[in-house]
Amino acid sequence: MNKKYIIFNWKMNFTVSESIEFSNNIIKSLANLKNKNIEIIVCPTFMSLPYCYQILSSIVKLGAQNISHTDHEYGSYTGEISAKMISDYAEYVILGHSERRIFLNEGNSIINTKRLFSIKNNIKPIVCIGESIDIRNSGKHIHFLENQIKECIDSDYEDKIVAYEPVWAIGSGENCDLGKVEEISKLTKSILGNDTLFIYGGSVNKDNIHSYLSSSSIDGVLIGSASLDKNSIEEMLNIIDANS
């Protein structure tokens, strides 16, 4: 079986001291994972990133949750953090998460710009796409997703990683049916190529992680809420080992 990716998106959770404590609490479970065909990527806040890196980087990869859209390593951009600045710690960056698209008005073109800056700084972009419930119910989701994919990612780049996260499945406990996810995987790979890594996110937890990871068209999962709890991480990792 191909390598599978498990991405923990901690979003705006954990202070620096809390993330240090949490990282120390989960380090044993992460280190005990027997399945070496799994790559775990932990994405804390910018502030916690260097600390989590110190604690966890010998066992997992680290990622950031955003970067600046300005193509400068340094400069007069108050409040911004450049791709260069995270590159000491992060091998990955999550871009275009629906929470940023909705709350911060990020559009496809800004996401594409950030994607290019991250590649320039040797950071692999994980580009999120996903439709709202209204779009899904209207039956126009395929067209909508196709557009997001085409406007956010050029097919001629390497390291293409797409995270399909239907907005209605995020944090709702209502994970997307495997068949529907596989349909979007097919769509994504038909546009970007079979070398694209296709990740699913949206209410992934111990009860459904195995079904997603066992699908040959899904390369990994992006986990929010269930990655904030030590026991749930332990349970998910145990399930992975029990089924490998």
Positions touching ligand PGA (CB under 6 A) are 9, 165, 170-171, 201-204, 222-226
Q: How far is the CB of 203 from ligand PGA (least distance, A)?
A: 4
The neighbour count for residue 123, using CB atoms within 10 Å, is: 25
User: Measured from the CB atom, is 33 or 204 closer to ligand PGA?
Assistant: 204
202-223 in b/e form (b: 16+ CB < 10 A) is bbbbbebbeebbebeebbbbbb
Complex with ligand PGA: residue 82 or 237, whichever CB lies closer: 237
Which single residue brings its beta carbon nearest to ligand PGA? Answer: 224
Q: How far is the CB of 165 from ligand PGA (least distance, A)?
A: 6
In the complex, the smallest distance separating the C-beta of residue 9 from ligand PGA, rounded to whole angstroms, is 4
Smaller CB separation from ligand PGA, 82 or 224: 224
Residue 233: name the closest of 22, 21, 57, 61 by CA.
Answer: 22
CA 202, CA 60: separation in Å to the nearest integer?
22
Query: What residues act catalytically?
Result: 97, 165
Instruction: Decide: 92 and 124 in contact? Cβ < 8 Å.
Output: yes
Nearest CA to 160 among 212, 115, 109? 115
> Which CB atom, from 172 or from 214, has the smaller least distance to ligand PGA?
172
| Cβ(164)–Cβ(181) below 8 Å | yes
Tokens of 127: 């580009």
Least distance between ligand PGA and beta carbon 98 (Å): 7
